[in-house]
């Protein structure tokens, strides 16, 4: 034993200090099994002897490297830690709590990622767009927009940014589905089926304020923010706040100009998956959402919801200025700009401004000459779907808008509104020059040209009452 120590000292190794260093650096706390392994290891190290018939050359020493032993124990500890995290997926245990919102997580790493929502930390930056992300995987997926590294469907050639999205898509071709045992309805993902089953089990998440039930805890949390008016996700560009991270992500694309969803038919790009799916139905003609009252079908759930309010008469959005009510928040917002005079959408060609994006889009077609809506009867083309619908009634003879006063019918709501002013005497278009009033905007525009002509020729005209 003295001979071994003298050799180790001559090699510059202090054996007892090394063992002490190893013990201090072992990952703690240790499991019972690890304590046993540690004890066995130390015991083996302390009792190292040279073999009786050693074949080692003179002066060589057979050693157990304590640093290698430490790493072996650390690997074992990490595997136990990983195993513990995995076991929590079965037990449901979530021991790591967020100090901000008290949400719980299975692992410390999940908590760290979550905490970045509160701190706003986004340590992973895109070198192309300067956009930042909370986690590395989000950056990797984002960078595929520029690198062209995509996951391609072998059946139809459609491309995806993530392997998971490709897998979900491939089930369209393979028809692999998760079927509900109650009604037979099929779903592409297990999660979708789980949420669907809650219809039958009654396992729902109920809002304590209004009693509305949600199929998932996430949906309930987002819904509850309607009542609390909490909007914890703020845009770093304009400081506008949102109820969910998803809503913020969609909004941020307005600033970055990012439109990651491209139509495979016409190449048009969209900011959101929902807008993309809705657009594709223009090509396919699919209208999966049917009204239970009149049977009319729509491309999106939102369009159906808005339409159903025609039957119910519901107009929950009221103007604070004139108390006029609207079916949607968007309609109210556009209307309020009549009072404020705000026209945030300007034409890049002529500079003319408009109250809504839709009005700007229609106007821009005056410059481009685009008329994408064609009549199937006579081939005449129109700038908007509404114009085509009204035109179609010439062929069908349909006049669905009836005057409540005299019963006269009209092809469009606008025609009925103008007619109704005959009965009410309303003349909403007032001339600022002579204070004369008009029932229609067309009559008003023609009248203003009289003043323009007078000013240009210097003539004086007296309007008779």
- 27: phi then psi, degrees, rounded to nearest 5: -65, 130
- State the pLDDT at residue 14: 41
**Rounded distance, CA 215 to CA 204, Å?**
5
Count Cα neighbours of 162 within 13 Å in the Cβ-side half-sphere. Answer: 11
**Rounded distance, CA 225 to CA 214, Å?**
13
**Rounded distance, CA 144 to CA 151, Å?**
10
Spatial CA neighbour of 22 closest among 62, 73, 63, 61: 73
Structural contact between residues 291 and 307, judged by C-beta atoms closer than 8 angstroms: yes
* Six-digit token string for 397: 């003879």
Helix 32-46 to helix 66-91 angle, to the nearest 10 degrees?
A: 170
Find the helix or strand (DSSP H, E) in which 453 lies: helix 441-457
Find the helix or strand (DSSP H, E) in which 326 lies: strand 325-326
Residue 374: other Cβ atoms inside 10 A: 12
Structural contact between residues 207 and 223, judged by C-beta atoms closer than 8 angstroms: yes
* Six-digit token string for 35: 């304590």
**Rounded distance, CA 16 to CA 42, Å?**
11
**Rounded distance, CA 105 to CA 112, Å?**
10
Q: Residues with Cβ < 8 Å from 102, sequence gap 6 or more?
A: none
Structural contact between residues 279 and 296, judged by C-beta atoms closer than 8 angstroms: no
3-state SS track over 173-197: HHCCCEECCCCCCEECCHHHHHHHH
Q: Residues with Cβ < 8 Å from 360, sequence gap 6 or more?
A: 345, 346, 347, 354
Structural contact between residues 311 and 293, judged by C-beta atoms closer than 8 angstroms: yes
Residue 192 burial class via C-beta count within 10 angstroms: exposed 0-12, middle 13-18, buried 19 and up: middle
**Rounded distance, CA 160 to CA 140, Å?**
13
**Rounded distance, CA 1 to CA 397, Å?**
112
Largest alpha-carbon pair distance within the chain? 133
- Whether the upstream peptide bond of residue 29 has omega within 30° of 0, thus cis, is yes
Structural contact between residues 399 and 410, judged by C-beta atoms closer than 8 angstroms: yes
Spatial CA neighbour of 326 closest among 334, 335, 337, 315: 315
* Six-digit token string for 259: 């439109």
Spatial CA neighbour of 211 closest among 196, 225, 224: 224
**Rounded distance, CA 160 to CA 145, Å?**
10
- State the pLDDT at residue 148: 67
Which residues in the chain land under pLDDT 70? 1-83, 129, 145-146, 148, 172, 175-176, 199, 202, 454-465
Q: Is 401 helix (H, G, I), strand (E, B) or coil?
A: strand
pTM, two decimal places: 0.41
- State the pLDDT at residue 117: 83
DSSP E strands in 22-69: the ranges are none
Q: Residues with Cβ < 8 Å from 244, sequence gap 6 or more?
A: 222, 225, 233
């Amino acid at each position: 034993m003295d001979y071994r120590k003298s050799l180790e000292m001559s090699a510059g190794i202090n054996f007892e200090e090394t063992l002490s260093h190893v013990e201090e650096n072992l990952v703690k706390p240790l499991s019972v099994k690890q304590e046993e392994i540690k004890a066995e290891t130390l015991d083996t190290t302390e009792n190292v002897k040279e073999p009786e018939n050693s074949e080692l050359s003179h002066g060589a020493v057979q050693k157990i490297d304590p640093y290698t032993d430490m790493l072996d124990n650390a690997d074992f500890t990490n595997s136990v830690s990983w195993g513990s995290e995995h076991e929590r997926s079965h037990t449901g245990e979530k021991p790591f709590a967020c100090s901000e919102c008290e949400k719980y997580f299975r692992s410390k790493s999940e908590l760290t990622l979550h905490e970045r929502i509160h701190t706003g930390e986004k340590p992973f930056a895109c070198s192309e767009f300067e956009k930042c992300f909370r986690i590395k995987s989000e950056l990797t997926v984002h960078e595929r927009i520029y690198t062209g590294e995509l996951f391609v469907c072998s059946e139809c050639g459609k491309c995806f940014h993530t392997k998971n999205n490709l897998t979900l898509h491939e089930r369209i071709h393979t028809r692999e589905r998760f079927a509900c045992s109650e009604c037979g309805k099929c779903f592409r993902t297990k999660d979708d089926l789980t949420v669907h089953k809650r219809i039958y089990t009654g396992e729902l998440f109920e809002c304590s304020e209004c009693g509305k039930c949600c199929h998932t805890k996430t949906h309930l949390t987002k819904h509850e923010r309607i009542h609390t008016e909490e909007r914890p996700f703020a845009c770093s560009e304009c400081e506008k706040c949102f109820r969910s991270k998803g809503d913020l992500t969609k909004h941020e694309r307005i600033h970055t100009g990012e439109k990651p969803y491209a139509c495979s038919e016409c190449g048009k790009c969209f900011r959101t998956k929902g807008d993309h799916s809705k657009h594709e139905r223009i090509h396919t003609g699919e209208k999966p959402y049917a009204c239970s009252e009149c049977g009319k079908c729509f491309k999106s759930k939102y369009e159906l919801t808005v339409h159903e309010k025609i039957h119910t008469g519901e107009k929950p959005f009221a103007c604070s200025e004139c108390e006029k009510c609207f079916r949607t928040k968007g309609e109210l917002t556009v209307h309020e700009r009549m009072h404020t005079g705000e026209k945030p959408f300007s034409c890049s060609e002529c500079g003319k401004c408009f109250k809504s994006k839709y009005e700007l889009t229609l106007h821009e077609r005056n410059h481009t000459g685009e008329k994408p809506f064609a009549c199937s009867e006579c081939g005449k083309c129109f700038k908007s779907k509404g114009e085509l619908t009204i035109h179609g009634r010439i062929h069908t003879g349909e006049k669905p808008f009836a005057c409540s006063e005299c019963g006269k019918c009209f092809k469009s709501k606008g025609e009925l509104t103008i007619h109704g002013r005959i009965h009410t005497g309303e003349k909403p278009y007032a001339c600022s020059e002579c204070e004369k009033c008009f029932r229609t905007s067309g009559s008003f525009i023609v009248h203003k040209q009289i003043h323009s002509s007078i000013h240009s020729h210097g003539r004086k005209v007296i309007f008779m009452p």
